[in-house]
Structure 1
Amino acid sequence: MGTWACKLLNGAYSINLYSSTLLLACISGDRYIAIVQARRSVKIRRRIQVYSRLICTVIWLLALVFSLPTLIFYKQVEDMDASECMPVYYGNNNAKVVKILIPSTQMLMGFLVPLMVMMFCYSCIMVTLLKAKNFRKHKAVRVVLTVVFVFIFCHLPYNVVLLVHTTKLFKNRTCKVEQDTLMMLSISRSVAYLHCCLNPILYAFIGVKFRGHFCQIMKDLRCLGQRYIYSGRSSQQTSDLYISAKIVVGSNNENPSSFTM
């Protein structure tokens, strides 16, 4: 589909990856304040809510800035056999810097920094929950462990393969090794992008309040559907009764046009 589609698709993937991981780090920080700093959380969260839109805007801008190299250097390259969407660099020094800069930034800001924030926040949250005398604490701990485990499971393989691929960029390697590395990179990247699809389940449907409201909406929709069906049947029965009554009345009339409707 050309260079514009190549830039747009890879740029969208990159922006989505950065924004999702950085926003998850902010969510873990918000939960840390709400649970660990419960006594002061009201004042702190009021201040944060004032700047919440600003924080989200800054994160999206950072994701866009970190994705600029992808938007700039990715192009559609025409070969004799096929066309491929890949980064194209100009100049030897520029190529070396950018080839290291793009994956390094992705590993650092797209994985390591959010992972460190999440590990710190959720570790403190787990300690606080285990100390609390609440019968639901074990369920809350399982939710925390699930969130961290899924994040590591989805993003760790991709970043490990990306690190291996980056270390081999300036070394001689066979075509077989390069093809295997690119295949593993493609598979692990797909798993990392899959995490964005799992986020609504992990951060919304697991929550008790959200699940309760969602179930209530489903019940209301079912009740409305039943009322609509019932009202439709009632109106149909009324119409049938009206038509049959009209026919009975018309049958006593000598004029056959009374049967016409």
Structure 2
Amino acid sequence: MAVGIMYYGENTTTPDYSAYYEDTENYAPCNNSSVRNFSHVFLPTLYSLVTIIGFIGNGLVVCVLLKHRNQTTLTDICLLNLALFDLLFVFSLPFYSHYAAVEEWIFGDFVCHFASGVHTLGFFGSIFFMVVMTLDRYVVIMHAHTMARHRTLRVGIALTVVVWMLSLCISLPVFALTQVKYEDFNWKCNSNTKDNIWDNFNIFMTNIVGLVIPLLVMIFCYSRIIPTLVKMRTVKKHRIVKLIIIIVVIFFLFWTPYNIVILLNFLHNQGILINDCDMLTGLNLSLPVTEGIAYAHCCLNPIIYAFVGQKFMLRVKRLLRKWVPCRFLVSPRNMSESSFRKSSIVSRSSEITSTRIM
């Protein structure tokens, strides 16, 4: 997720794509023209696909949830905010797509501040709500009888305010410290500070807050949830367990390579790693590839958290029938929402996985 806080080149908080190809004065001259040509095509293409798919998927989630806002639950609130943060993240990608293609920022100083901040806000907000939803599942399964009465709309609204405020606080330095500067005959949008403390803060927030802590929370919660689900006498348990495993595995696979490459790039710029052309070329090539893979995760959130739910899919089909009539969409008369409430156990399982809207 380039998150608003990233580390591609020295002292950058936004994607400075020239850092993929240029060598600093401390490096031996290396020919990175192949990496440059690859990134000119790969990043804009992938960003465009992620933008289109992300807008459609997350936009549908927002539309469906707002349409059925009278039946809102805590799960719905989390899904809505997750989709909103993903939309904010996706909103910044067209700017960075152009930036990656031409290696120059043409959108002015205000858009530089705004796009960088929104990028960071969407990234961390999405991560935080994934953690909230994981903790919610944990509470529902492990402490269902004692905590069920506390899962109210007021709690959902309070959590929403807390997550938004926390995400804004983390994003404020990016809003404030990014600017357009003329460097190396090009206009660039990156950090205006040369302080190493800011670089270390970037690395800490991206790797620890953006990956390690959420991953540890997921592993802990789901390692407790899965054995409990296996013992539940419901035909849905195997599907639920598989879904939980997919959530953790996909999150890990999509984000870990990117965060590792960012850390290696930081160590290389600090002179800790061996300084040679092979190392530099490998890092410059790995950055855009792993970044693109990580960004694609925002397109998967609607599928993982919403579209796999039968009830949610029913509502999506009903909404699409009004917009684009199609014979392939199942008629609401053949699929009533009450047909999905077969038992209290199944309903609880649906709430646990956050894949249905109760």
TM-score, normalised to structure 2's length? 0.55
| The structure with more helix, counted as a fraction of residues | 1
* Residue 142 (structure 1) aligned with residue 242 (structure 2): yes
Contact 1:3 1:75 in 2 (8 A): yes
* Residue 71 (structure 1) aligned with residue 175 (structure 2): yes
- Report the Cα offset of residue 61 of structure 1: 1.5
Distance in 2 (CA, whole Å) between partners of 1:220 and 1:10 is 37
Distance in 1 (CA, whole Å) between partners of 2:109 and 2:283 is 24
* Residue 19 (structure 1) aligned with residue 125 (structure 2): yes
| Of 284, 299, 302, the match for 1:197 | 299
| Of 54, 57, 60, the match for 2:158 | 54
Distance in 2 (CA, whole Å) between partners of 1:15 and 1:220 is 33
| Deviation sequence 1:201-221 (CA, Å, 0-9, x none) | 110011232123334555677
**Which residue in 1 is equivalent to 2:206?**
106
Runs of 5+ unmatched residues, structure 2:
1-106, 328-358
| Of 97, 121, 125, the match for 2:197 | 97
Q: 1:183 to 1:72 in 2, by over 3 A?
A: farther
Specify the SS of the correspondent of 1:24: helix
Distance in 1 (CA, whole Å) between partners of 2:277 and 2:178 is 22
- Aligned partner of 2:253: which letter? F
* Residue 8 (structure 1) aligned with residue 114 (structure 2): yes
- Report the Cα offset of residue 197 of structure 1: 1.8
Specify the SS of the correspondent of 2:190: strand
Contact 1:69 1:102 in 2 (8 A): no
Query: Aligned residues, how many?
Result: 219
- Aligned partner of 1:43: which letter? R
- Report the Cα offset of residue 6 of structure 1: 2.0
- Report the Cα offset of residue 130 of structure 1: 0.8
Distance in 2 (CA, whole Å) between partners of 1:88 and 1:221 is 47
Q: 1:205 to 1:185 in 2, by over 3 A?
A: same
CA radius of gyration, larger in: 1
**Which residue in 2 is equivalent to 1:128?**
228
TM-score, normalised to structure 1's length? 0.74
- Report the Cα offset of residue 59 of structure 1: 1.0
Specify the SS of the correspondent of 1:75: strand
Specify the SS of the correspondent of 2:144: coil
Which gives a bigger RCO, structure 1 or 2 (Cα 8 Å, sep 6+)?
2
Distance in 2 (CA, whole Å) between partners of 1:81 and 1:174 is 26
* Identity level (%): 26
**Which residue in 1 is equivalent to 2:188?**
84
Q: 1:176 to 1:128 in 2, by over 3 A?
A: same
Specify the SS of the correspondent of 1:40: helix
Distance in 2 (CA, whole Å) between partners of 1:69 and 1:223 is 47
Contact 1:73 1:89 in 2 (8 A): yes
Distance in 2 (CA, whole Å) between partners of 1:142 and 1:78 is 51
- Report the Cα offset of residue 10 of structure 1: 1.9
Distance in 2 (CA, whole Å) between partners of 1:6 and 1:66 is 17
Q: 1:180 to 1:89 in 2, by over 3 A?
A: farther
Specify the SS of the correspondent of 1:67: helix
Distance in 1 (CA, whole Å) between partners of 2:175 and 2:321 is 46
Runs of 5+ unmatched residues, structure 1:
226-261
* Residue 158 (structure 1) aligned with residue 262 (structure 2): no
Matches of residues 190-229 of structure 1 in structure 2 within 5 Å? 190-218=292-320
Distance in 2 (CA, whole Å) between partners of 1:223 and 1:196 is 28
| Deviation sequence 1:187-245 (CA, Å, 0-9, x none) | 322322221121111100112321233345556778899xxxxxxxxxxxxxxxxxxxx
Comparing 172-181 and 14-23, the one that deviates more: 172-181
